[in-house]
Amino acid sequence: MRKLRFLTLLTLFNLLFSLPGSAQNLSIYCEDAAHFKGPDGKITGLDIEIVSEIQRRVGNTDEIQLVPWTRGMKFLDAEPNTILFSMARTKERNDLYQWIGPISETSYGFYTKADSPIVIKNLDDARKVTSIGVYRNDVRDQFLTKEGFTNLERANDNFSNLKKLMAGRVAVIAGTSVGIAVEAQRAGFSVKDVKFLYAFARYPIYIAASKKTSADIVASWNAALDTMRKDGTLKAIFKRYLPDEDVPGPELTIY
């Protein structure tokens, strides 16, 4: 009887931890240049909170690892059971990965020093400036390269781009409103030291999963995010970081 009871408990235990989204073995990466650790040593940020809450709901305890974007992309392209966030979902990227989200929406634009006389009202104006700092292999780099820009100066992170801008080594950088604020603070400047010029693209932002990640895992993460959207948790997290922007709804775009 004891043996039968033990075998029954063992079977239930195995079933529990074989459910999709529970005892997952995932490599989870986020961009080091876009996040930093607080005084308590924990990584902070809007998408960090969202991903952490999804993990809690699906029973995943894998560590979120900070890596350079290019390295994270290499892992995502080659490894199974790999998560990378946050990523702009574009037509070109759509079929390369599986998607969890959207978790936000971001405008990408040109920024320069607050005292700069540069004016950009369209892409043709931007082509005429001496140099534009972009994040290597980022969606901004990809978009502007596709548009035929030949004045791009690539860096390994946006933090470096902002420092180059303030030192006069590039005339303009491609950034986002949230990213500029964080990068300026980290570099010892104020967001008032830079000014916005022109928005050239807007994309929904997702958590990306590699093609070799289990579809059941992706489905469980999306289900958890959908529940967060319905019960108000996503809105509460979102409003702490972006109080003036609406929480994105379920994805409606057809790629």
Is 17 a member of any domain? no
196 pLDDT higher than 90:
yes
* 115 and 198, same domain (yes or no): yes
Given this model, what pLDDT does residue 156 score?
86
What is the per-residue pLDDT across 94-135, written as a single tens digit (0 to 9) for each?
999 999 999 988 889 999 999 999 999 999 999 999 999 999
* 189 and 216, same domain (yes or no): no
Is 18 a member of any domain? no
Identify residue 54 by its one-letter amino acid code. I
* 113 and 195, same domain (yes or no): yes
Range of the domain at 94: 23-105+204-241
Is 28 a member of any domain? yes
What is the per-residue pLDDT across 197-248, written as a single tens digit (0 to 9) for each?
999 999 899 999 999 999 999 999 999 999 999 999 999 998 888 887 788 8
What is the per-residue pLDDT across 25-49, written as a single tens digit (0 to 9) for each?
899 999 876 666 667 778 888 999 9
Q: Give 49-56 contacts, CB < 8 A, sequence gap 24+.
A: 49/237, 49/240, 50/103, 50/207, 50/225, 50/228, 50/234, 50/237, 51/83, 51/85, 51/207, 53/224, 53/228, 53/233, 53/237, 54/100, 54/207, 54/221, 54/224, 54/225, 54/228, 55/28
What is the per-residue pLDDT across 34-90, written as a single tens digit (0 to 9) for each?
666 667 778 888 999 999 999 999 999 999 999 988 899 999 999 999 999 999 999
* 101 and 134, same domain (yes or no): no
* 158 and 112, same domain (yes or no): yes
Is 9 a member of any domain? no
Is 1 a member of any domain? no
Is 79 a member of any domain? yes
CATH for 228: 3.40.190.10
Is 188 a member of any domain? yes
10 pLDDT higher than 50:
no
Give, in order, the Cα–Cα distances in Å from 24 to each of 6, 196, 246: 25, 42, 31
* 78 and 136, same domain (yes or no): no
* 133 and 171, same domain (yes or no): yes
* 89 and 139, same domain (yes or no): no
* Tokens encoding 202: 């807007």
* 215 and 165, same domain (yes or no): no
**Residue-averaged pLDDT of the chain:** 87
* 210 and 85, same domain (yes or no): yes
* 143 and 115, same domain (yes or no): yes
* 168 and 208, same domain (yes or no): no
Counted domains in the chain: 2
Given this model, what pLDDT does residue 37 score?
67
The pLDDT > 70 percentage for the chain reads: 86
Q: What is the pTM of this model?
A: 0.77
Given this model, what pLDDT does residue 252 score?
55
Is 251 a member of any domain? no
15 pLDDT higher than 50:
no
Q: What is the mean pLDDT of residues 167-190?
A: 88
